[in-house]
Structure 1
Amino acid sequence: MDALSEVLQDFRLSGVNYGRCELRHPWSIAFPEQPLLRFHFVSQGPCWIHTEAQGWHELRNGDLVLLPQGIAHRLASAPDVAGGSLDDCQVTKLGGNVCEVVREGTGATSTLFCGSMTLGACALNPLIALMPPIIKGCDVAGNDPVVGPLLAAMTAEA
């Protein structure tokens, strides 16, 4: 086993909360800074992400974004869409840690899976602090055979 795999094996995720989001253009959602790790998976776009340090970046279908330090950021259907929040969406809790988020609109539909999690291994906190504030994986759904069944299970649960 390589060193990275050994480290990742110790992550022991807990407190995972996630939602399946159906958002119709125009939409924009601000995510405030938090101590938890955040992730966003784009099943179907359009989707853009903005951070203060890096500005706007387009996310394509199959892209995964991990924000290890939970920095403040914004997701939007386009960079020019005015600010919004989850308060502008219909949020339906489907269980203890699962919700569905719907934003009505007139344009194209974006389907995202978004979530937060904590790490059970406190020893990894220094590692998290050393990670880049935003990590992007391109087309993880197409390149990793585990992601497809995982998304299907998340969809079925939601």
Structure 2
Amino acid sequence: MDLLSDVIAAMRTGRAHYARSERHAPWAVRHRPFAGAGFHLVLEGRSWLIPPDGAPIELRAGDVAFLPHGSAHSVAGDPAVLVADLPSSPLAEPHQDNRPGGAGAGSRTVMLCGAYLMDRARPHPLLGEFPEFVHLPARLGRHSSLRGATELLATELAQPRLGSDALLPALLDALLLYVMRAWLDERPRHDATTGWTAALHDPAVHAALQGIHAAPHRPWTVQELGAVAGLSRAAFARRFTTLVGQPPLSYLTWWRMTFAARLLRASDAPLKTVANRIGYTSEFAFSTAFKREHGLTPSAYRRQTTSADLDTTDADRRVTESGGRMRSQH
């Protein structure tokens, strides 16, 4: 099983929103915090990402700035532009140039900004290890797959053709995975002695995690997982707990309930089917365990998430009808 893909699929709760913008200096935009992960991709020109605290980050053409925690920030054509008094907007929402002064006839910047909605009530520990802002410069010979995805995105946005509506959501999902993969590749392994990054690089723990993710329905024991890892029961339990942050069977339960939530959001499968997929033969036992983890019964959780999805779809329709440039894709 691909653990990184599972992390993303487990946390994603809605569509990826994106907006392509073209601005002429001077300009600046403030973005408020949001429940998700976001990105800025500079297609042409340059801009500056300005954190609430810390030094501005210069973004040149081809650079990607990743915001894994949806942190508040500003983006400007010049770090000297004052943004404190500007109104804030959600990331990837259509907006006009916010020009503190001047006619806005300066250098041009073209950007693609996007946001992925995430379930912050059950954050995956891997995402928690990312810093507030990740800057991936467009360096020759590095992260060729990420560069390829950004170029394909830029082409589809600049010259939409038949099939673009199907390609764009796939490319946005690919961009997210390539960004996370690039950061994991950039991070020195010796920097992570515990946590999920270290677990992914530990052959024994990685093998056990793959087993859990591949077969969450299986009635795993610590001894069986230790055998998959090639370690004794006691040695495996210590190693897994140290790296992952919780004992093996606690993580198994966490993943089962996370996977169940994903199934409830993404399908209309009967509760008995969902229960069987994660290893529960009793629908009642599954409902009890699910409510203990999520605070809602599976039926109530499904109704709540379906209602939220419908509200988002209706909001997207209103934006489209009003001529907005924001797009949302499944």
TM over 0.5: yes
Distance 2:88 2:48 in 1: 16
- Select 2:4's aligned residue among 2, 8, 20: 8
Match of 1:115 in 2: 114
TM-score by length of structure 1 reads 0.76
- Cα deviation, 1:38-77, whole Å, max 9, x if unaligned, reads 1100011220011133321111110001100001111000
Moved more, 43-52 or 145-154: 145-154
Match of 1:150 in 2: 153
Distance 1:58 1:154 in 2: 23
Q: Aligned in 2, Cα 1:107/1:86: closer, same or farther, shift over 3 Å?
A: farther
Distance 1:116 1:141 in 2: 26
Moved more, 110-119 or 133-142: 133-142
Q: Match of 1:150, as an amino acid?
A: L
- Identify, as 1 or 2, the structure richer in strand: 1
Q: Aligned in 2, Cα 1:67/1:137: closer, same or farther, shift over 3 Å?
A: same
Moved more, 99-108 or 69-78: 99-108
TM-score by length of structure 2 reads 0.39
How many residue pairs get matched?
144
1:1-158 pair list within 5 angstroms: 6-10=2-6, 11-12=8-9, 13=12, 14-83=14-83, 84-85=86-87, 101-103=95-97, 105-119=104-118, 125-139=124-138, 143=144, 144-155=147-158, 156=160
Structure 2 runs not aligned, ≥5 long: 98-102, 165-324, 326-330
Q: Match of 2:20, as an amino acid?
A: R
Q: Match of 1:39, as an amino acid?
A: F
Higher relative contact order (CA 8 A, sep 6+): 1
Q: Aligned in 2, Cα 1:154/1:125: closer, same or farther, shift over 3 Å?
A: farther
Offset at residue 153 of structure 1 (A): 2.0
Q: Match of 1:69, as an amino acid?
A: H
Distance 2:65 2:139 in 1: 10
Identity %: 24
- Cα deviation, 1:125-152, whole Å, max 9, x if unaligned, reads 3222221111111117983323211222
Contact 2:41 2:63 in 1 (8 A): yes
Match of 2:210 in 1: none
SS of the residue aligned with 1:145? helix
Distance 2:111 2:20 in 1: 6
- Identify, as 1 or 2, the structure richer in helix: 2
Distance 2:118 2:136 in 1: 20
Match of 1:90 in 2: none
Q: What's the RMSD between the two structures over aligned residues? A: 2.9
Distance 2:87 2:109 in 1: 16
Contact 1:33 1:72 in 2 (8 A): yes
Q: Aligned in 2, Cα 1:151/1:8: closer, same or farther, shift over 3 Å?
A: farther
Distance 2:44 2:71 in 1: 24
Contact 1:29 1:86 in 2 (8 A): yes
Distance 1:18 1:154 in 2: 11
- Cα deviation, 1:80-117, whole Å, max 9, x if unaligned, reads 11223467xxxxxxxxxx87555371101100000111
Q: Match of 1:110, as an amino acid?
A: T
Q: Aligned in 2, Cα 1:9/1:141: closer, same or farther, shift over 3 Å?
A: farther
Distance 2:95 2:107 in 1: 16
SS of the residue aligned with 1:55? coil
Distance 1:152 1:99 in 2: 21
SS of the residue aligned with 1:117? strand
